[in-house]
Amino acid sequence: MKIALCNEVLRELEFPAQCAYAAGLGYDGLELAPFTLGETPHLLSNSDRARLRSAAADAGIEIVGLHWLLVTPQGLSINSRDASVRRQTVEVMRRLIELCADLEGKVLVHGSPGQRQVEPDDDPAEAWKRALDSFAAIKADAEAADVVYCIEPLSQSETNFINTVAEAVSLVEAVGSPALRTMIDTRAARLAEDASVAELIDHWLPRGMVAHIHVNDRNRRGPGQGDDEFAPVFAALVRNGYSGKVSVEPFDYEPDSGATAAHAIGYIRGILQTLEWKRETKGTAGKQNLD
């Protein structure tokens, strides 16, 4: 698996500097939040897209995909009762799929809690149907672009729509496209699910439903900066043969953004090295027993 950093962590830097900094810390890629690219990121020019690709290539780092998709332009919603709002939202989603493919990314993570909130006087069942229509409208675009569009479960403290992996899977299955799947955000899962993150991985990853992982602590900081344990999470990913991307997505940066990014990658690499050492040690012991 490869480890990426969500680029809003370094958004005070210009994009080439973000790439160089993340690569220097040992990250394999950056996952881009479109709002860091401008007010209308879905309309980025071809020259701007080429500039982003070149900056990543020069630093020797991947652009793994996009997340936090609908922050800008303002006023978007996948399940609004206003059909014109939904049409505009679907158009932005389609353009972001194109952007992701143009940047050579492979995954889009649809979180954007504010742009899927069901209003108190709305019918949840009708809101679900409208969201289904929005995702169904972009499935052909995702298939043609050869990207995976992931519906992200988020906790009830962030949104009242799609809080668990099971709920996301229900929507994915209703859309019925291999280009639409779900993902696991460790903070959201620990707040919303009865099962542990490792148990969720063991249950859903073999079923082909989970296509991406975000790692963060319940305290909104990076892995290793709180009480949450991440060794069982990575052990479950290794156990299930996960070969995708794991993106570090903290929200609070203490003591600062650079230190947060550095601490997270060091902590994760340490876990992965320990898991590899255990695997090799177990293999050596088994061979010795056979001898």
Q: Which segments in the chain show pLDDT lower than 50?
A: 287-291
Distance between CA atoms of residues 123 and 98, nearest Å: 32
pLDDT score of 285: 56
> Contacts from 142-147 at CB under 8 Å and sequence distance 24+?
142/97, 142/108, 142/177, 142/179, 142/180, 143/177, 143/178, 143/179, 145/97, 145/98, 145/100, 145/101, 146/101, 146/106, 147/65, 147/97, 147/100, 147/101, 147/105, 147/106, 147/107, 147/108, 147/179
Query: Which residue segments constitute the domains of the chain, with CATH numbers given?
Result: 2-290 (3.20.20.150)
pLDDT at 282: 78
Q: Write out pLDDT tens, residues 251-281.
A: 999 999 999 999 999 999 999 999 998 888 8
Pick from 223, 233, 229, 239: which is nearest to 278 by CA? 239
Query: Residue 291's pLDDT is what?
Result: 43
Separation in Å, CA 165 to CA 77, 83, 230: 21, 27, 19
Give this prediction's pTM.
0.95
Residue pair 55/19 in contact by the 8 Å Cβ criterion? yes
